[in-house]
Amino acid sequence: MKIRITEYLNVDLASEQWECHACGHELADARTNYKHGCLVAEVPIEEAHPGMTGAEFSFSPDPDYCRLIEFYCPGCGTTIENEYLPPGHPITNDIELDITALKARHVVVEGAAQ
Amino acid sequence: MKTPPTFRYGRDFEVVQRLRPEPMTEREQAAQHLIEGLEFEIFQHKAGMIALEGKETTMKLGASTAMRWGDVAFGIYTAQGDLAICATGIYHHAVLSQLPMKYIVKHWRDDQSVGLREGDSFFFNDPFYGGVHNADMGLAIPVFADGELICFIGAAVHTGECGGSEPGGMVNGARSRYDEGLLVPPIKIGEHFVLKEDILAMLSNMTRDPRTMILDIKARLAACRIAERRVNEIVSEKGADFYVGALRKVLKITGEAARKKVSRLNDGVYRQPRFLDTTGPEDALLKINLTVIKKGDKIKLCFTGSSPAIPDRPVNSYFQGIIGLAMVYFCGWFFHDLPANNGLLECLEWEFPEDTFVNAKGDMPVSYAPATQVAFAQGMFMCAARMVYSIDPKRAVGSWNSGFAVTPFGGFNQWGDPIADITPEINATGAGARPDMDGVDSAGAFFATMSDCGDIESMEADRPFVYLFRNFFNNSYGHGKFRGGSGVGFGMMVHGVPWVAIGGMGFGTRFPATLGIFGGRAAPTVFVQSVHGSNMGTMMAEGNLDLPCNMGELYGETSNETGTRVLGHVSSPPKPFLGGDTIYVPVSGGAGYGDVLDRDPEFVIADLRRNLVTSDAAERIYKIVYDKSTLRLDAAATEVARSTARDERKRTAKSFDDFNRSWQALRPKPEVLRYYGAYPDPAAVAGGAAL
């Protein structure tokens, strides 16, 4: 049974794997950070947010403060998530599901449906 | 004179902990059998209408920018001070006003020198009880039936000017709370249905804008008295016991329903670090380390790993204000189908570490707490999007814009009256993108959803400004499968006065404030442009039609405005602007949702037609191929371009471990981190660690 967790993430309860919702590619153990199974790239901040003024203050974040990292599905290249982080800041485990509880909930639901 | 044993002069640290519902009283319990199904439904509707009328009345009568344009919280509170009924989009003020009510019950009800009687009214603005900052002021009245206290009615609004060391209610240079102006704990301001003129004279004398101060107080009181009349009608018809029991039942059923809804969410831990780029007077990086733990029917908010408190900078926040802003999300979004009241807090727990800037103590200034609080609230949106998608995907929305590029000002207006306030564009931000549609353009303020940004003509009538433009800004939102709603940019020229002081309050100049969700991009960083010695007035007098008409035109090569052009952080102390000087402020858009390459190409074309996306973004971000003269989409070429872009991602990106190895070696410059605490985990220095 697959549970949709976000726009681009499923959890397969049987295999306990994160997978890409767009293409079904298996990403990582569902009890770990799904980002471990993604391809990762830093997008130059000036490309993502052009400055327009050519000055210190602009519409582009200051790279001393902020960088943009994107996490791609290795199967289809979809951007599953991104993070705006200060340089070197640890990448966030933003969804840490209680997989045991999730399985228990859906076993109960499936049982009730039967 | 009877003095409650817990009271001491100074602040009450116990009462501010009492955000959740008080235990049910014997009277409330005994009355529960009186509350029948249909009668209860009718009561809820009537009480809601009373609150709504109160909110509208407050708006119609008040003078401050925030009051006129709807940043009004109007509520009915139980006799113990719990919020039971409210009409507002600015939920935090309604929820946090419980604390002044509970203070009144605890300290003044049985105190012979103050007491609590029919016809009394109480004023308060100390942010220790109001939770946010001094500029937010409230008024409450007790309501009696047969000599027994049956409820409070209250109105809380950002009046703005509060007599701090800078005009406009938010003190950039505050070094302690004594720089921030009025610090009034709940104080009796009226008796026998009459306001006390000596108190009004004191309050007006201690602020720069006495007219607005007094009109706002009277507006709150008038609205409360009308609501009191309506409450008395219910009591006359149904009895006081029914009324008291029904107010309590609203809380009870709300709490039960909230816990039931929370229990449907997936158990887990959801995280979103939030970064601010200012302490107020200087640029520096600060971290709010938000961890949301959902288990069973409870949600716990934890902040371990947040940056240290800064004793002499105004960006600190009391913990109660953070919880207040949490209620903006819960009342307005997650529990949108439940009554908005204190019962919702039964499912919420929190943990604020000592010595962090989200848990201000002592004499720390808090003028800029709203920035810290909205930064947290946006993180709440992001954590919650990940939490709710499974059960209610349409509620998994991107953050609205922070709203915090505020423009405080002070001086004299063109009629010679003293003024000090903020401009209203804070209420014209773009909404966050949603799973099924773009964010609404210039939707409002996420923390004050019943407000709007008012008419320019009204602003110009009693403010010394001429607006040059106020319209959509096509570089203001986060890109994505669905884009954030567009914000606005506005330009103003000082007019009709020799000079006026103008400052800025906000964050998001070096680190974007409003981040995307599920791969959606952030809204761009923002900054303020001012032009001193501008020729704008001359050009207008000459009938020159070649003036900048939107934010985008300021930064091309088309603007013919001359003068000393200064760009700066949205957070800055008030500075003198002479007549004819101009200022340009972007009040930005909402966060993007989803991968930019998933955006329907026709949506991009539609945005090009409306000048809501630049051709650069259409081509480079969205990979759209189109005819620039006809704006006709080349669908096949677009598909090829997007496929190529996806392949390029796969070809150039690294595995997580490979990327992380080089990434972890990076560090911000030391001056960026001087207030941050230990990097990257501020908790590490204290021997702990973030969750």
- What is the nearest CA distance from A18 to chain B, expressed in angstroms? 14
The structural domains of chain A, with segments of one domain joined by +, span 2-89+100-113
Does the CB of A108 have a partner CB in chain B at under 8 Å? no
- Reported as a pLDDT band with limits 50, 70 and 90, residue B358 is very high
ipTM of the complex: 0.95
**Residue B5 predicted with pLDDT over 80:** no
Report the chain A residue with the minimal C-alpha distance to residue B680.
A89
**Residue A26 at interface with chain B, using a CB cutoff of 8 Å:** no
Structure tokens at B617: 């973004």
Contact assignment for A88 to B654 by CB distance below 8 Å: no
Query: B660 contacts in A (CB within 8 Å)?
Result: 40, 91
Decide if B394 contacts B435 (C-beta within 8 A). yes
pLDDT of residue B687: 57
Are B386 and A96 inside 8 Å of each other by CB?
A: no
**A78: distance to nearest CA of chain B, Å?**
7
Q: Which of B386, B524, B567 sits opposite A95 (nearest CB)?
A: B386
* Contact of B518 with B594, CB cutoff 8 Å: yes
Domain boundaries, chain B: 48-238, 260-395+654-691, 397-598
Question: Measured between alpha carbons, how far is residue B109 from residues B12, B16, B186, B235 in Å?
Answer: 16, 17, 12, 22
Q: Which residues contact B409 (CB under 8 A, 6 or more apart)?
A: B167, B168, B419, B420, B421, B422, B423, B463, B500, B501, B502, B503, B574
CA B287 to chain centre: 19
Chain segment A24-40, per-residue pLDDT in tens: 999 999 999 999 999 99
Could you write out the DSSP letters of every residue in B249-291? HHHHHHHHHHHHHHHTSPPEEEEEEEEEEESSSSEEEEEEEEE
Residue B272 sits at φ, ψ, to 5 deg, of -155, 100
- Looking at the complex, report in whole angstroms how far the Cα of residue B386 sits from the nearest Cα belonging to chain A: 6
Contacts of B665 in chain A (CB under 8 A): 88
Taking CA–CA distances from A22, the nearest residue in chain B reads B598
Lowest mean pLDDT among B323-327, B343-347, B451-455, B537-541: B451-455
- Residue B436: the pLDDT is 97
Give B519's contacts in chain A (Cβ within 8 Å).
7-8, 70-71, 78-82
pLDDT given for residue B501 in this prediction: 97
CB–CB of B529/B552 below 8 Å?
A: no
Query: How far apart (Å, rounded) are the C-alpha atoms in residues A80 and A90?
Result: 18
Q: In this structure, what are the phi and psi dihedrals at residue B356, rounded to the nearest 5 degrees?
A: -120, 155
B691: nearest Cα among B263, B319, B272: B272
Instruction: Give the closest of A80, A94, A101 to B267, CB-based.
Output: A101
Q: Give the one of B271, B509, B655 whose C-beta lies nearest to A39's C-beta.
A: B655
pLDDT band at B572 (very low <50, low <70, confident <90, very high): very high
Helix (H) or strand (E) holding B635: helix B635-652
C-alpha span between A24 and A17 (Å, rounded): 11
> Which chain B residues touch A37 with a CB distance below 8 Å?
656
Per-residue pLDDT averaged across B321-335, rounded? 95
- Rounded to the nearest angstrom, the minimum Cα separation between B385 and chain A is 8
User: In this predicted model, what pLDDT tens digit does every residue of B265-297 receive, in sequence order?
Assistant: 999 999 999 999 999 999 999 999 999 999 999
- Residue B511 has its nearest CB partner, among A65, A78, A81, at A65
Mean pLDDT in chain B? 95
A112 has a pLDDT exceeding 50? no
DSSP B67-129: HHTT-EEEEEEETT--EEEEE-S-HHHHHHTHHHHHHIIIIITT-TTT---TT-EEEE--HHH
Contact B524 A56 (CB under 8 A): no
Contact check, Cβ <8 Å, B266/A98: yes
Does residue A110 register a pLDDT over 60? no
Task: Check CB contact under 8 Å for A79 and B596.
Answer: yes
User: pLDDT > 70: what percent of chain B?
Assistant: 97
Structure tokens at B76: 């009915």
CB contact (8 A) between residue A86 and residue B594? no
| Cβ neighbours for B603, distance < 8 A, ≥ 6 positions apart | B438, B483
Task: Work out whether the CA dihedral B412, B414, B419, B421 comes out positive or negative.
Answer: negative
State the average pLDDT over residues B594-609.
98
Residue A114 pLDDT: 41
The enclosing H or E element of B615 equals helix B615-620
pLDDT above 60: residue A109: no
622-681 in B: which are within 8 Å (CB) of A?
Answer: 645-647, 649-650, 652-657, 659-660, 663-669, 672, 679-681
- Read off the pLDDT of residues B133-176 as tens digits, 9 standing for 90 and up: 999 999 999 999 999 999 999 999 999 899 999 999 999 999 99
Q: Is the peptide bond before B418 cis (omega within 30 degrees of 0)?
A: no
- Residues A62, B564, B463, CA angle at the centre, nearest 5°? 95
In chain B, residues with a C-beta closer than 8 Å to the C-beta of A57 are: 509, 527, 567-569
Rounded Cα distance, B284 and B509, in Å: 11
pLDDT band for position B658 (cuts 50, 70, 90) = very high
Cβ atoms of residues B340 and B75 within 8 Å:
no
Q: Are the beta carbons of B590 and B484 closer than 8 angstroms?
A: yes
Tell me which chain B residues have a C-beta less than 8 angstroms from the C-beta of A91: 656, 660, 663
Confidence of residue B553 (pLDDT cuts 50, 70, 90): confident
By three-state DSSP, how is residue B447 classified? Answer: coil
Give the DSSP per-residue string, B35-46. Answer: --HHHHHHHHHH
pLDDT at B236: 97
B680: closest CA of chain A, how far (Å): 6
Residue tagged 């603005």 (tokens): B125
CA end-to-end span of chain B, whole Å?
49
Query: What is the reported pTM?
Result: 0.96
CA dist B605 and B616 (Å) reads 13
* Interchain contact A37–B (C-beta under 8 A): yes
Q: With a cut of 80, say whether residue B613 has pLDDT above it.
A: yes
- How far apart (Å, rounded) are the C-alpha atoms in residues B129 and B13? 10
Is it the case that residue B187 has pLDDT exceeding 70? yes
CB contact under 8 A, A6 and B518: yes
